Amino acid sequence: MVLAAGYLGITLDWALVQHRLSRGFRVVSFDNAGLGFSDAGPEPRTSSAIVADLRAALAAAQLGPPYILVGHSAGGIRMHLFAALYPQDCQGLVMVDSCFADWEQRLYGGPSPHLDQEREVFLRLLALAQAGRLTPEAADYKARIAVPRPDLSPAMNAAFHEMWTRPSYLLTAISESLHLRAATAIEAAADRRPLGQTPLAVLSAMDTTQSAFLESDAQTAAWFAMHDELAGLSERGFRRLVDCGHNIPIEHPKAVFTAVEEVAAMAG
């Protein structure tokens, strides 16, 4: 099993799911280059670059295919790309509240103002970090980073503080946000490539009120329509509603590992 976290997410996002799946499977989660506990990688941080890094890491760790690929949100876009480019390596696919790479055009008909606003925050955080002034007292630190958190251990709070105040992390965040909206021709073509008999589960969060990207009934309908299209790419695809918000791996981990186990069983 290979678990890919969402936009700017890290391995810790899979803690509840990975622990359960590890009882019956060998499970790998990973931090994209420049995020979490991974060293920075070359720019641009496109989905293609992330997939290439992952394949190289799996080979270096001698973790050969076939894989069941599990991706949450933007991680789903990357795992879908992996499956489309290397179908011989993919035994099954689980898309956790994910979508197509052209999500922005489908939801907004153009650039999303939310990504622009977030990138402005990242640029301010980067300037503070480079000047050594990104401290818990800074307004942007309080608004975007907000650690220490009472639900995390001192060690975890320290790890998040170190990550967010690292200029290389913020440069990666800026690059990933730019390329989350700019699919290459290869990535766009992979989005529509049929997956044949590959087992495919698509999980849709029912509570869309937490998503800053879904502001209208029309956008919500377009989001769910993408999920139907995704499930339809495989002759053995199915879509399931999950009673929680977008962060399914944390809010409803049982839904994820149940779907993964079903896909594994279908794959034989």
pLDDT tens by residue, 44-101: 888 999 999 999 999 999 999 999 999 999 999 999 999 999 999 999 999 999 988 8
**Taking the model in full, what pTM does it have?**
0.92
Alpha-carbon distance values, 98 to 105, 109, 162 (Å): 15, 18, 29
The per-residue pLDDT for range 27-50, each reduced to its tens digit, is 999 999 999 989 988 888 889 999
pLDDT-based confidence at residue 127 (cuts at 50, 70, 90): very high
Q: Is the pLDDT of residue 3 over 70?
A: yes
Cβ 92 vs Cβ 68: under 8 Å: yes
Query: Mean pLDDT for the chain?
Result: 92
Quickly state the pLDDT bin for 188 (edges 50, 70, 90): confident
Tell me what pLDDT residue 182 has. 63
CA distance 11 to 222: 29
Tokens 């991706």 label which residue? 71
- Kindly give, in sequence order, each residue whose CB lies less than 8 Å from that of residue 218, ignoring residues fewer than 6 positions away: none
Residue 41 CA to residue 151 CA, distance in Å, equals 31
Treating both helix axes as pointing N-terminal to C-terminal, what angle do 167-179 and 154-164 enclose, rounded to 10 degrees?
70
- Give the pLDDT mean for 211-227: 91
Question: What's the burial of 209, exposed, middle or buried (CB within 10 Å: 0-12/13-18/19+)?
Answer: exposed
Beta bridge partners of residue 234, listed in sequence order: 196
Q: In this structure, are residues 95 and 80 in contact, taking their beta carbons and an 8 Å threshold? A: yes
Structure tokens given for 79: 């795992």
Strands 2-4 and 90-96: unpaired
